[in-house]
Amino acid sequence: MAAVKVLADVDTGVDDALALIYVAWAHRTGRAQLLGCGTVAGNCTVEQATANTLRVLELAGLEVPVARGACRPLAGALRTAPEVHGEDGLAGAGVGPLYRKPSPEHAVDQILRLSRQHAGELVLVATGPLTNVAMALVLEPELARRLARLVVMGGGVRDLGNVTAAAEFNFYTDPEAAHVVLESGVPLTLVGLDVTHQVYVEETDLARLQQVDTPQARFARHLLRFGMEAYRRLGGPARFYLHDPLAAAVALDARWVSGRWVSLSVETRGERTRGMCVADWRRQPEAAVPHGPGWAWVALQVEGRRFVGHFMEELARWARGAGADGPAELAGGRDTRDERAAAHG
């Protein structure tokens, strides 16, 4: 199977970082060709997301352009998510010297350029607010026909909300951008909470990774344990949802999920429902796909434990394999449990 040509648009945060590691490993093992990354404000500021993305790719031993994108949503105010991802967006590991610089190109220009250079082949995977993607579609509407696929982590049609009762974080942060993307007629695959809430990591899932002692393994364990602790502090069980890694996996192989075409719109005005994904189940999908504006192929089922097992296996392989020539330890790369043990004796 030829390597899938991928451009990632991310708000690197903890699960974006894990998704980037997954794609970087697929790149190094010939299943993907990561052509670049674009960053967008969401989990943290776009400056921090850019620095975090550069750090993760450096640790992954991958040199691809990282282009800074939108610093705020199209219309609303930016509200970052330090309660889940840490103040720096990378579980406290987003500090220390940066050896790589972002590309001078804007993320929107990078989307348009790569979509022209790889017309019909490029898979754009967006795991943050859709601000950059919407801006690119407004600048050049024909982008919708040049992309092979747009895979979005966002929304939800039965499992509606995580940041509010009605809305998922990426769609809540920039509902106007989600509306522009949905109305563009781009061949859209939506990997929303309906499936990402079925794929989560708990302490027992780290066993395979526990056996690896490299800076990469320590960094990955740190991210996962930080995320589990964040969800526990927010009142849930100590588990970390692999929202963005599932979207990345679907971008490389759509067979991870099953679903159907759904007529979709996004609420942009509701006082309690802003950012909500509204599915019109009255409309049955016609035979021809991809549908026009207002339609998305929505992932509805996933074999959660099978995916988590696959993801943790790939992460352990990366941690072993990338360790061979990966750079020095990242600041937060120490194993959280070791730190806890050290702190409490």
The interface partner of residue 169, options being ligand RIB, Ca ion, none and the CB cut-off 5 to 8 Å by kind, is ligand RIB
Q: Which of 4, 7, 14, 16 binds Ca ion (CB under 5 A)?
A: 16
263-284 in b/e burial notation, b at 16+ Cβ within 10 A?
A: bbbbbbeeeebbbbbebeeeee
* Cβ atoms of 72 and 33 closer than 8 Å: no
Whether residue 290 is preceded by a cis peptide bond, meaning omega within 30 degrees of 0, is yes
Residues 233-262 that bind Ca ion (CB under 5 A): 244
Residues 224-243 that bind ligand RIB (CB under 6 A): 243
Q: Minimum distance from CB of 14 to ligand RIB (Å)?
A: 7
* Cβ atoms of 285 and 176 closer than 8 Å: no
Nearer to Ca ion, 180 or 191 (CB): 191
The interface partner of residue 333, options being ligand RIB, Ca ion, none and the CB cut-off 5 to 8 Å by kind, is none
Q: Which of 9, 205, 244, 267 binds ligand RIB (CB under 6 A)?
A: 244
Tell me the Cα Rg of the chain.
19
* Amino acid making up residue 331: A
Q: Which of 65, 128, 155, 275 binds ligand RIB (CB under 6 A)?
A: 128
> Please, which residues have CB within 8 angstroms of residue 256's CB and are 6 or more apart in sequence?
246, 249, 250, 302, 307
> Annotated catalytic residue: which of 243, 291, 310, 344?
243
Q: Which residue has the tokens 């999920």?
A: 257
Backbone CA torsion sign across 116, 117, 122, 124 = negative
Q: Minimum distance from CB of 339 to ligand RIB (Å)?
A: 24
243 has catalytic annotation: yes
- Segment near ligand RIB (CB under 6 A), from 59-67, 168-176, 219-227, 250-258? 168-176
Identify the three-state secondary structure at position 42: coil
- Segment near ligand RIB (CB under 6 A), from 10-18, 52-60, 280-288, 332-340? 10-18
- Segment near ligand RIB (CB under 6 A), from 102-110, 167-175, 182-190, 289-297? 167-175
Instruction: Tell which residue, 188, 202, 197, has the closest CA to residue 168.
Output: 197
> Please, which residues have CB within 8 angstroms of residue 118's CB and are 6 or more apart in sequence?
5, 35
Identify the three-state secondary structure at position 83: helix
Does residue 65 belong to the site contacting ligand RIB (CB under 6 A)? no
Q: Show the DSSP H helices in 154-199 as ranges.
A: 169-173, 175-183, 193-196
Residues 118-147 that bind Ca ion (CB under 5 A): 127-128
The interface partner of residue 162, options being ligand RIB, Ca ion, none and the CB cut-off 5 to 8 Å by kind, is ligand RIB
Does residue 162 belong to the site contacting ligand RIB (CB under 6 A)? yes
Does residue 42 belong to the site contacting ligand RIB (CB under 6 A)? yes
Does residue 15 belong to the site contacting ligand RIB (CB under 6 A)? yes
Does residue 200 belong to the site contacting ligand RIB (CB under 6 A)? no
Q: Which of 39, 43, 52, 53 binds ligand RIB (CB under 6 A)?
A: 43
CA within 13 Å, CB half, 22: 26
Identify the three-state secondary structure at position 41: coil
Nearer to Ca ion, 128 or 332 (CB): 128
* Cβ atoms of 58 and 28 closer than 8 Å: no
Q: Which of 39, 45, 53, 170 binds ligand RIB (CB under 6 A)?
A: 170
* Cβ atoms of 52 and 89 closer than 8 Å: yes
CA gap 152, 112 in Å, rounded: 17
Does residue 335 belong to the site contacting ligand RIB (CB under 6 A)? no
Q: Give the interface with ligand RIB as residue ranges (CB under 6 A).
A: 11, 13, 15-16, 42-43, 127-128, 153, 162, 168-170, 243-244
Q: Could you list the active site residues?
A: 243
